[in-house]
A and B are shown apart, each in its own frame.
Chain A
């Protein structure tokens, strides 16, 4: 069982719609303590996408995550300090069925950085081998079929 209090506040307060599906998954990822709670749907898809990287490749998932609601087709972004020598995965999830997602990473000069990308059900991910320590922009875009807004969740891990 998942203890709601063991999850970051961001997870507990994010969004009005929740589902229990990702809880066992969360237990496999970052949260080692006994878990019993509901997780924001969009973020749970991001965590599902993270599963292989965590279990097989040894990535450490951070507790710092982001959630929100995005207008269809409008690019959103976060700024992130990344350290050369680390490899990072960024996982973007949405609970909007049949939405298209894209994620790209830019250096501080605005140039898109080479990344490995993977697509999952309701999620997309990008991996970067950091070419230089510094600030990067993690940008993403979600397009829904009917043009409606989509809830999203973004998580990241490092190795």
Chain B
């Protein structure tokens, strides 16, 4: 073969070899059917993610501190109750970090241990709570926040491994309720539509509904979860509109989440 021909072939060889189509994803994915979803659930933010947004609105530490409600040492009635309250207490921990309140962080750490003991998870979270207690003494708030995140994640992972998905959902619901109660209280202090938009969360409520509907009937029909389902039905229109929730809607969301917290979640 003439050298010139070999050279020409070599020139073409590179583009030919690299001619496989460019790796892309479409600009539109109307129904997402082309995607394999790793999990069916929507990832729910931890309270700190939402507090982080509110933190940009010039709230000082005392504003966060005013929302603190140190956890109760009273015993919960059953495992569902315990799981709901565990989620709520961890949310309280994130708030205590925001408020930089060491005493509440330590109290939350102790109650988390009690609640996880009742659920047979104490050993799994012990290292996290130790870190929480130690870091709070030195005001290493980033560490404390990370360990609360780790606590929540470990609890959910272990519950899933044990096929206690219903309990894992209850932890999420309890955390979300307390987190939303705190967020609405902060928004109430100085409402703006920008802050109200944080509460646009239709898919999360749908997901909680679906989770409760899929639970074992003995749990689903418990008075506790029935109350939650009923109140979620009231929350949906408040948190699903095209526009940001109004100040009145924020008040209503706060009232509902607070009532559920006091009457259903807390012991």
Contact = CB atoms under 8 A, between A and B. Distances in A.
B24 to A, nearest CB: 7
Interface string B10-26: 00000000000001111
A158 B27 contact: no
Contacts, number: 153
Q: Which one of B35, B46, B50, B194 has the highest number of Cβ atoms from chain A below 10 Å of its Cβ?
A: B35
B203 A134 contact: yes
Given A75-B36, A77-B36, A134-B203, A112 B25 contact: yes
Interface string A76-87: 111111111110
B164 interface: no
Contact of B45 (A76, A81, A108, A132): A81
Contacts of A74: 36
Given A83-B45, A112-B27, A134-B201, A76 B146 contact: no
B30 interface: yes
Counting chain A residues whose Cβ lies within 8 A of the other chain, the interface size class is 35 or more
A24 interface: no
Interface string A18-45: 0000000000001111000000000000
A137 B197 contact: no
Interface extent on B, as a size class?
A: 35 or more
25 contacts: A6-B127, A6-B128, A8-B153, A9-B157, A30-B146, A33-B131, A63-B150, A76-B38, A78-B37, A78-B43, A79-B43, A81-B201, A81-B203, A85-B52, A86-B49, A103-B25, A104-B25, A111-B28, A112-B27, A132-B200, A133-B197, A133-B198, A134-B203, A137-B29, A159-B52
Interface of B: 23-32, 34-39, 41-46, 48-50, 52-53, 56, 127-128, 131, 135, 140, 142-143, 145-147, 149-150, 152-154, 157-158, 161, 194, 197-204
Given A80-B43, A102-B23, 16 more contacts: A6-B127, A8-B150, A32-B142, A64-B149, A68-B38, A80-B42, A81-B203, A85-B194, A85-B198, A102-B24, A110-B29, A110-B31, A134-B201, A139-B25, A141-B24, A158-B49
